[in-house]
Amino acid sequence: MSNTFTNTYEKVFGIVENRLKKFTVFDAISGKIAQAGLGVGGRYYQYAYDPDTVSHASSPYNAVAFNDMATDEIVIDAREVAREYSFRMDMRDQNVLRRAPQFIASKTADALKQLYGDIDGQTLGAGYTYANYYADDAILGGTAGTPITLTGSNIFQTFTRGRAKLAGIAGPTLTDLALIITPEQEALLLETGLANGFRIADEVLASESRDYLGDFAGMKTLRSSYLTHTIVLTYTNGTDFSNGTVFTLNGLTYTASTTIGSTAGNFLVGSSADASATNLVYAINNPSTTNANVVAQGTFNSANVAKLAGITATLDATANTITIVSKRGYSPLSGTVSTLTGAVGTGPGNGALANVVVHNLITQIGAIELCFSRADRIYKETRLEPQMPVENFMMFTEFGTQIPYFSRNKVLPIRCYASVL
């Protein structure tokens, strides 16, 4: 029986993976530095620091000195991210679930969807993190530093001017561009096309592939639910957090408390607002840790901790802000947000999703490097539980992402307010 189900799993995995992986964004935009059979410690890839945006003086018949990797190097860690998804089937399941192949297919599809989403989020997040330049409302003649509010009348202009800004930064070598948009922005494009007789969005409307939408504004346009989204929480230095202040992130509650207690998500009100903010940031970034200042949301492999995958928080004690970044789209950031002094705020979840910023990317294909520690994207295992009629199924992926210094001028994040239909 075990061999039968193992064979079924292998066959189903191959069919489902082949259908899903062609819809991932990383496949379309990232460079490939893949190595099979990496050791337990991973492998590092080094890049020489030879920026292609700076011309070098040269004299005939004299050698030209370039920087070398000894002092300036960019490193990719092939084990930067390791994610897994597992499920099991015992003898009872096999007897009760007469349609076990369909069950395996469903679980396999869900696993691959989530793991490829992890890769997409990390790949696109690298663009947000490492790009040298941002585009904001200034490209439309508005205010620098302010995200763009996309409308039917400015969405085409936003991306064409973003492309022009990137071309001005990268120079004439810029070719093979990709534009990454959200499903909501795709809907805006489609509505724009309907409103103007298909003059702008007709090629997007003609798309035959689920996530490749055709050419738009002269760029290969792809749709992704994993573009990086951010929100910024502010607090008043000198006014400490109130006992009982609640902040909800992806359905998980964080509560400021003068006595730490044992409730999941509690964080200690410190001796100052900065100290309290430091505890909150630590609680978000270390959801499986309990110490004197925070109570864990759950164990390392619990569902609660999994909800915070791809979410990080950064404290700026000078500006009195906490920036929360999600590589899983805006939905994890759409819970109720209260101000950090106890009063009810107007953040995401209270009808103010404009406070969430989506970072669209315009990138030269191949500017983002992605390396895998396995021969292919997802590695699969099946094994029989010793002395038990249980079979375990597991899929996992290990990879690293980076944008080498000399490619960072070829990725442009465009900051826009997120929106919901």
For 18-29, the pLDDT digits (tens) are: 888 878 899 889
E strands, 259-346, are 266-268, 311-316, 321-326
279 vs 383, more confident:
279
Give residue 232's Cα distance to chain centre.
17
Out of 27-31, 137-141, 203-207, 306-310, give the one with best mean pLDDT.
137-141
Band of the pLDDT at 359, cuts 50, 70, 90? very high
Give the chain's domain count.
Answer: 1
Query: Lowest-confidence range among 69-78, 147-156, 256-265?
Result: 69-78
In the predicted model, what is the mean pLDDT of residues 41-69? Answer: 54
Band of the pLDDT at 344, cuts 50, 70, 90? very low
pLDDT of 307 strictly over 90:
no
122 touches 30 (CB < 8 A): no
Looking at residue 55, its pLDDT comes to 62
| In a domain? residue 222 | no
| In a domain? residue 275 | yes
51 vs 30, more confident:
30
Looking at residue 69, its pLDDT comes to 45
pLDDT of 113 strictly over 80:
yes
Give me the residue label for tokens 């460079």. Answer: 31
Token output for 413: 């994040």
What is d(CA 391, CA 146) in angstroms, rounded to the nearest whole number?
Answer: 53
pLDDT of 204 strictly over 90:
no
Out of 126-130, 239-243, 292-296, 384-388, give the one with best mean pLDDT.
292-296
Query: Lowest-confidence range among 175-184, 247-256, 359-368?
Result: 247-256
| In a domain? residue 117 | no
Closest CA to 235 of 281, 174, 184: 281
Give me the residue label for tokens 């669209």. Answer: 360
Looking at residue 348, its pLDDT comes to 33
Query: Lowest-confidence range among 181-190, 335-344, 382-391?
Result: 335-344
| In a domain? residue 270 | yes
Query: Lowest-confidence range among 26-35, 334-343, 355-364?
Result: 334-343
Mean pLDDT of the residues in the chain: 78
Looking at residue 347, its pLDDT comes to 34
| In a domain? residue 314 | yes
The phi and psi torsions of 133 (rounded to 5 degrees) equal -130, 150
Range of the domain at 283: 229-326
Report the predicted TM-score, pTM, of the whole model to 2 decimal places. 0.83
pLDDT of 38 strictly over 80:
no
Token output for 140: 């439309």
| In a domain? residue 37 | no
Query: Lowest-confidence range among 95-109, 338-352, 389-403?
Result: 338-352
User: What element of type H or E holds 186?
Assistant: helix 183-195
334 touches 350 (CB < 8 A): no
Looking at residue 183, its pLDDT comes to 86
Helix axes 2-21, 100-130, angle to 10 degrees: 40
pLDDT of 420 strictly over 80:
no
Length of the chain measured in residues:
421
| In a domain? residue 313 | yes
What is d(CA 269, CA 88) in angstroms, rounded to the nearest whole number?
Answer: 42
